[in-house]
Amino acid sequence: MINVLIAITPLFLVIFIGAFLEHAKIADKNWSPVLNNFALKIGLPALIFASLAKMDFVFSEQSQLIYVNSLVMICSFLIALVIGKILRLNRKNFRTFFICLGFTNCAYLGFPTLTQIYGESVLPIASLIVAVYLFWIFTLGIGFLDYTQIRSHKNLAKKILLNLIKNPLLIAVFLGLIVASLGINIPVIINKSIDMLSASVTPVVLIVIGLFIGQSKFGNIKKWIPVFIFSIMTLMVIPGLFILGIKLFGLNLPEFTTSIVISAMPLAITPFALADTYKLNKGFIARSIVLSTILAIITIPFWSSIA
Protein backbone atom coordinates (compact mmCIF):
# COMPACT_ATOMS: atom_id res chain seq x y z
CA MET A 1 0.00 0.00 0.00
CA ILE A 2 2.86 2.38 0.83
CA ASN A 3 4.46 1.74 -2.57
CA VAL A 4 1.20 2.59 -4.32
CA LEU A 5 0.80 5.74 -2.21
CA ILE A 6 4.30 6.83 -3.21
CA ALA A 7 3.52 6.05 -6.86
CA ILE A 8 0.36 8.15 -7.02
CA THR A 9 1.56 11.03 -4.81
CA PRO A 10 3.05 12.94 -7.80
CA LEU A 11 -0.40 12.90 -9.44
CA PHE A 12 -2.01 14.58 -6.46
CA LEU A 13 0.88 17.02 -6.14
CA VAL A 14 0.14 18.17 -9.70
CA ILE A 15 -3.56 18.47 -8.76
CA PHE A 16 -2.67 20.66 -5.78
CA ILE A 17 -0.37 22.75 -8.00
CA GLY A 18 -3.43 23.39 -10.15
CA ALA A 19 -5.40 24.36 -7.03
CA PHE A 20 -2.58 26.72 -6.01
CA LEU A 21 -2.51 28.33 -9.46
CA GLU A 22 -6.22 29.05 -9.14
CA HIS A 23 -6.05 30.21 -5.53
CA ALA A 24 -3.06 32.47 -6.22
CA LYS A 25 -4.89 33.97 -9.25
CA ILE A 26 -2.08 32.88 -11.55
CA ALA A 27 -4.63 30.95 -13.60
CA ASP A 28 -7.53 33.03 -14.86
CA LYS A 29 -11.08 31.90 -15.68
CA ASN A 30 -10.11 31.03 -19.27
CA TRP A 31 -7.72 28.25 -18.29
CA SER A 32 -10.28 25.64 -17.20
CA PRO A 33 -12.51 25.59 -20.32
CA VAL A 34 -9.53 25.62 -22.70
CA LEU A 35 -7.63 22.82 -20.92
CA ASN A 36 -10.83 20.84 -20.33
CA ASN A 37 -11.80 21.04 -24.01
CA PHE A 38 -8.34 19.94 -25.07
CA ALA A 39 -8.44 16.95 -22.71
CA LEU A 40 -11.99 15.94 -23.59
CA LYS A 41 -11.89 16.45 -27.34
CA ILE A 42 -8.26 15.77 -28.24
CA GLY A 43 -5.98 14.40 -25.52
CA LEU A 44 -8.10 11.65 -23.95
CA PRO A 45 -9.59 10.49 -27.29
CA ALA A 46 -6.02 10.20 -28.63
CA LEU A 47 -4.97 8.21 -25.56
CA ILE A 48 -7.97 5.86 -25.77
CA PHE A 49 -7.62 5.34 -29.53
CA ALA A 50 -3.88 4.69 -29.32
CA SER A 51 -4.34 2.21 -26.45
CA LEU A 52 -7.16 0.23 -28.06
CA ALA A 53 -5.70 0.27 -31.57
CA LYS A 54 -2.57 -1.49 -30.31
CA MET A 55 -4.34 -4.27 -28.41
CA ASP A 56 -5.28 -7.70 -29.75
CA PHE A 57 -9.03 -7.29 -29.32
CA VAL A 58 -11.18 -10.39 -29.54
CA PHE A 59 -14.66 -9.94 -28.11
CA SER A 60 -14.93 -13.51 -26.84
CA GLU A 61 -11.74 -13.00 -24.80
CA GLN A 62 -12.82 -9.64 -23.35
CA SER A 63 -16.54 -10.39 -22.98
CA GLN A 64 -16.36 -11.33 -19.29
CA LEU A 65 -14.61 -8.04 -18.48
CA ILE A 66 -17.25 -6.10 -20.43
CA TYR A 67 -20.18 -7.94 -18.85
CA VAL A 68 -18.90 -7.67 -15.27
CA ASN A 69 -18.14 -3.95 -15.51
CA SER A 70 -21.52 -3.37 -17.18
CA LEU A 71 -23.18 -5.15 -14.25
CA VAL A 72 -21.27 -2.95 -11.79
CA MET A 73 -22.54 0.18 -13.52
CA ILE A 74 -26.14 -1.04 -13.71
CA CYS A 75 -26.03 -2.06 -10.03
CA SER A 76 -24.67 1.38 -9.09
CA PHE A 77 -27.67 3.02 -10.74
CA LEU A 78 -30.06 0.56 -9.07
CA ILE A 79 -28.47 1.20 -5.65
CA ALA A 80 -28.90 4.94 -6.23
CA LEU A 81 -32.58 4.43 -7.10
CA VAL A 82 -33.24 2.31 -4.00
CA ILE A 83 -31.40 4.60 -1.58
CA GLY A 84 -33.01 7.68 -3.11
CA LYS A 85 -36.46 6.18 -2.58
CA ILE A 86 -35.68 5.01 0.98
CA LEU A 87 -34.33 8.43 2.00
CA ARG A 88 -37.21 10.15 0.18
CA LEU A 89 -34.87 12.63 -1.45
CA ASN A 90 -36.50 15.53 -3.21
CA ARG A 91 -36.48 15.48 -7.01
CA LYS A 92 -33.37 17.64 -7.39
CA ASN A 93 -31.27 15.69 -4.86
CA PHE A 94 -32.57 12.35 -6.10
CA ARG A 95 -31.48 13.07 -9.68
CA THR A 96 -28.13 14.39 -8.40
CA PHE A 97 -27.47 11.29 -6.30
CA PHE A 98 -28.48 9.00 -9.15
CA ILE A 99 -26.07 10.39 -11.74
CA CYS A 100 -23.20 10.99 -9.30
CA LEU A 101 -23.00 7.54 -7.68
CA GLY A 102 -21.89 5.86 -10.90
CA PHE A 103 -20.05 8.81 -12.47
CA THR A 104 -16.51 8.07 -11.28
CA ASN A 105 -13.49 9.95 -12.55
CA CYS A 106 -12.56 6.86 -14.57
CA ALA A 107 -10.89 8.75 -17.42
CA TYR A 108 -9.40 11.98 -16.07
CA LEU A 109 -7.92 10.49 -12.91
CA GLY A 110 -8.24 6.81 -13.80
CA PHE A 111 -5.72 6.71 -16.64
CA PRO A 112 -2.85 8.56 -14.91
CA THR A 113 -3.43 6.65 -11.65
CA LEU A 114 -3.39 3.23 -13.31
CA THR A 115 -0.31 3.98 -15.38
CA GLN A 116 1.53 5.18 -12.28
CA ILE A 117 0.64 1.98 -10.41
CA TYR A 118 0.79 -0.68 -13.14
CA GLY A 119 2.66 0.95 -16.04
CA GLU A 120 1.71 1.72 -19.64
CA SER A 121 0.76 -1.90 -20.36
CA VAL A 122 -2.52 -1.45 -18.45
CA LEU A 123 -3.85 1.20 -20.85
CA PRO A 124 -5.62 -1.08 -23.38
CA ILE A 125 -7.65 -2.87 -20.70
CA ALA A 126 -8.24 0.41 -18.83
CA SER A 127 -9.51 2.02 -22.05
CA LEU A 128 -11.94 -0.84 -22.60
CA ILE A 129 -13.28 -0.56 -19.03
CA VAL A 130 -13.62 3.22 -19.33
CA ALA A 131 -15.51 2.65 -22.58
CA VAL A 132 -17.99 0.43 -20.72
CA TYR A 133 -18.45 3.06 -18.01
CA LEU A 134 -18.95 5.87 -20.52
CA PHE A 135 -21.47 3.83 -22.51
CA TRP A 136 -23.73 3.23 -19.51
CA ILE A 137 -23.30 6.76 -18.16
CA PHE A 138 -24.36 8.34 -21.45
CA THR A 139 -27.21 5.90 -22.06
CA LEU A 140 -28.76 4.77 -18.78
CA GLY A 141 -27.42 7.67 -16.69
CA ILE A 142 -28.05 10.69 -18.91
CA GLY A 143 -31.10 8.92 -20.37
CA PHE A 144 -32.68 8.80 -16.90
CA LEU A 145 -32.03 12.52 -16.41
CA ASP A 146 -33.62 13.26 -19.77
CA TYR A 147 -36.57 10.97 -19.02
CA THR A 148 -37.31 12.63 -15.68
CA GLN A 149 -36.90 16.14 -17.06
CA ILE A 150 -38.72 16.28 -20.40
CA ARG A 151 -42.48 15.94 -20.76
CA SER A 152 -42.46 14.17 -24.10
CA HIS A 153 -40.44 10.95 -24.31
CA LYS A 154 -40.98 10.17 -27.99
CA ASN A 155 -37.53 11.48 -28.99
CA LEU A 156 -35.70 10.10 -25.94
CA ALA A 157 -33.97 7.24 -27.82
CA LYS A 158 -32.85 9.67 -30.51
CA LYS A 159 -31.42 12.05 -27.91
CA ILE A 160 -29.51 9.24 -26.18
CA LEU A 161 -28.12 8.09 -29.55
CA LEU A 162 -26.96 11.64 -30.32
CA ASN A 163 -25.23 11.81 -26.92
CA LEU A 164 -23.27 8.70 -27.87
CA ILE A 165 -22.48 9.76 -31.43
CA LYS A 166 -21.23 13.21 -30.35
CA ASN A 167 -19.07 11.96 -27.47
CA PRO A 168 -15.37 12.21 -28.52
CA LEU A 169 -14.29 9.54 -26.04
CA LEU A 170 -16.78 6.98 -27.32
CA ILE A 171 -15.90 7.82 -30.93
CA ALA A 172 -12.26 7.09 -30.06
CA VAL A 173 -13.34 3.80 -28.47
CA PHE A 174 -15.23 2.63 -31.56
CA LEU A 175 -12.46 3.66 -33.95
CA GLY A 176 -9.79 2.05 -31.78
CA LEU A 177 -11.70 -1.22 -31.55
CA ILE A 178 -12.29 -1.25 -35.32
CA VAL A 179 -8.58 -0.76 -36.02
CA ALA A 180 -7.65 -3.45 -33.46
CA SER A 181 -10.25 -5.95 -34.69
CA LEU A 182 -9.32 -5.57 -38.36
CA GLY A 183 -5.59 -5.49 -37.70
CA ILE A 184 -5.15 -2.19 -39.56
CA ASN A 185 -1.59 -0.89 -39.54
CA ILE A 186 -1.46 2.86 -38.94
CA PRO A 187 1.52 4.68 -40.53
CA VAL A 188 4.39 5.33 -38.10
CA ILE A 189 4.22 9.11 -38.57
CA ILE A 190 0.54 9.21 -37.59
CA ASN A 191 1.16 6.83 -34.68
CA LYS A 192 3.89 9.06 -33.30
CA SER A 193 1.67 12.14 -33.59
CA ILE A 194 -1.14 10.39 -31.70
CA ASP A 195 1.32 9.20 -29.05
CA MET A 196 2.54 12.78 -28.54
CA LEU A 197 -1.02 13.96 -27.94
CA SER A 198 -1.58 11.02 -25.59
CA ALA A 199 1.53 11.88 -23.57
CA SER A 200 0.33 15.47 -23.06
CA VAL A 201 -3.04 14.63 -21.55
CA THR A 202 -2.06 13.45 -18.04
CA PRO A 203 -0.64 16.74 -16.69
CA VAL A 204 -3.43 18.67 -18.42
CA VAL A 205 -6.28 16.73 -16.80
CA LEU A 206 -4.60 16.85 -13.39
CA ILE A 207 -4.25 20.62 -13.63
CA VAL A 208 -7.94 20.87 -14.64
CA ILE A 209 -8.96 18.91 -11.52
CA GLY A 210 -6.73 21.16 -9.41
CA LEU A 211 -8.21 24.33 -10.91
CA PHE A 212 -11.68 23.07 -10.03
CA ILE A 213 -10.66 22.36 -6.44
CA GLY A 214 -9.09 25.82 -6.22
CA GLN A 215 -12.34 27.42 -7.32
CA SER A 216 -14.41 25.63 -4.66
CA LYS A 217 -15.41 27.29 -1.40
CA PHE A 218 -15.59 25.52 1.96
CA GLY A 219 -19.08 26.65 3.01
CA ASN A 220 -21.13 25.53 6.02
CA ILE A 221 -19.72 22.48 7.81
CA LYS A 222 -23.20 20.87 8.00
CA LYS A 223 -23.35 20.73 4.21
CA TRP A 224 -20.28 18.49 4.21
CA ILE A 225 -21.88 15.69 6.27
CA PRO A 226 -23.97 14.22 3.39
CA VAL A 227 -20.98 14.85 1.10
CA PHE A 228 -18.75 12.77 3.38
CA ILE A 229 -21.32 9.93 3.47
CA PHE A 230 -21.62 10.03 -0.32
CA SER A 231 -17.83 10.03 -0.73
CA ILE A 232 -17.52 6.94 1.49
CA MET A 233 -20.15 5.20 -0.65
CA THR A 234 -18.30 6.05 -3.84
CA LEU A 235 -14.79 5.31 -2.63
CA MET A 236 -15.41 2.38 -0.29
CA VAL A 237 -18.88 0.80 -0.53
CA ILE A 238 -19.14 0.39 -4.33
CA PRO A 239 -15.66 -1.16 -4.82
CA GLY A 240 -16.24 -3.25 -1.68
CA LEU A 241 -19.46 -4.64 -3.13
CA PHE A 242 -17.61 -5.22 -6.41
CA ILE A 243 -15.04 -7.43 -4.69
CA LEU A 244 -17.77 -9.23 -2.74
CA GLY A 245 -19.63 -9.95 -5.97
CA ILE A 246 -16.48 -11.30 -7.64
CA LYS A 247 -15.93 -13.71 -4.75
CA LEU A 248 -19.59 -14.77 -4.57
CA PHE A 249 -19.62 -15.64 -8.29
CA GLY A 250 -16.32 -17.50 -8.03
CA LEU A 251 -14.46 -15.22 -10.44
CA ASN A 252 -10.69 -14.74 -10.42
CA LEU A 253 -10.01 -11.55 -8.44
CA PRO A 254 -6.62 -10.65 -10.05
CA GLU A 255 -8.31 -10.50 -13.47
CA PHE A 256 -10.42 -7.57 -12.22
CA THR A 257 -7.74 -5.55 -10.43
CA THR A 258 -7.93 -2.71 -12.95
CA SER A 259 -11.74 -2.75 -12.81
CA ILE A 260 -11.77 -2.50 -9.02
CA VAL A 261 -9.37 0.45 -8.95
CA ILE A 262 -11.44 2.25 -11.60
CA SER A 263 -14.63 1.63 -9.61
CA ALA A 264 -12.93 3.28 -6.61
CA MET A 265 -12.21 6.58 -8.39
CA PRO A 266 -13.68 9.79 -6.93
CA LEU A 267 -16.54 11.74 -8.48
CA ALA A 268 -15.83 13.12 -11.95
CA ILE A 269 -16.03 16.80 -12.88
CA THR A 270 -18.59 16.24 -15.67
CA PRO A 271 -21.70 16.13 -13.39
CA PHE A 272 -20.87 19.68 -12.31
CA ALA A 273 -20.92 20.75 -15.96
CA LEU A 274 -24.31 19.03 -16.35
CA ALA A 275 -25.79 20.61 -13.21
CA ASP A 276 -27.38 23.66 -14.85
CA THR A 277 -28.77 21.72 -17.83
CA TYR A 278 -30.40 19.03 -15.70
CA LYS A 279 -31.17 21.15 -12.60
CA LEU A 280 -28.92 19.20 -10.25
CA ASN A 281 -27.59 20.17 -6.81
CA LYS A 282 -24.51 22.06 -7.91
CA GLY A 283 -23.18 22.75 -4.41
CA PHE A 284 -23.36 19.09 -3.42
CA ILE A 285 -21.59 18.03 -6.61
CA ALA A 286 -18.78 20.58 -6.18
CA ARG A 287 -18.14 19.61 -2.56
CA SER A 288 -18.30 15.89 -3.43
CA ILE A 289 -15.70 16.29 -6.19
CA VAL A 290 -13.34 18.09 -3.82
CA LEU A 291 -13.73 15.77 -0.81
CA SER A 292 -13.77 12.49 -2.74
CA THR A 293 -10.66 13.51 -4.70
CA ILE A 294 -8.78 14.35 -1.49
CA LEU A 295 -9.90 11.13 0.25
CA ALA A 296 -8.88 9.13 -2.82
CA ILE A 297 -5.24 9.72 -1.86
CA ILE A 298 -5.85 7.14 0.88
CA THR A 299 -8.55 4.91 -0.62
CA ILE A 300 -6.94 4.22 -4.02
CA PRO A 301 -3.76 2.73 -2.50
CA PHE A 302 -5.97 0.66 -0.18
CA TRP A 303 -8.00 -0.91 -3.01
CA SER A 304 -5.00 -1.44 -5.27
CA SER A 305 -3.29 -3.37 -2.47
CA ILE A 306 -6.43 -5.44 -1.75
CA ALA A 307 -7.26 -6.31 -5.37
For residue 134, what are the CA distances in angstroms to 22, 55, 70, 137, 267? 29, 19, 10, 5, 14
User: What pLDDT score was predicted for residue 299?
Assistant: 94
**Structural domains in the chain (count):** 1
CATH number of the domain enclosing 254: 1.20.1530.20
Q: Which helix (H) or strand (E) holds 130?
A: helix 123-136
> What is the reported pLDDT for 201?
84
What's the pLDDT tens digit per position in 207-235?
Answer: 988 888 888 776 777 889 999 999 999 99
- Residue numbers of the domain that contains 42: 2-306
Q: Is the pLDDT of residue 52 over 60?
A: yes
The predicted structure's pLDDT at residue 151: 60
- Mean pLDDT confidence for 284-297: 91
The mean pLDDT of 242-256, rounded to a whole number, is 92
pTM of the model: 0.82
Instruction: Give just the sign of the alpha carbon dihedral 209, 212, 213, 214.
Output: positive
Give the DSSP letter string of 30-76: THHHHHHHHIIIIIHHHHHHHHHHTS---HHHHHHHHHHHHHHHHHH
Q: Write out the E strands in 163-243.
A: none
Which three-class secondary structure state does DSSP give residue 104? Answer: strand
- Specify the length of the chain in residues: 307
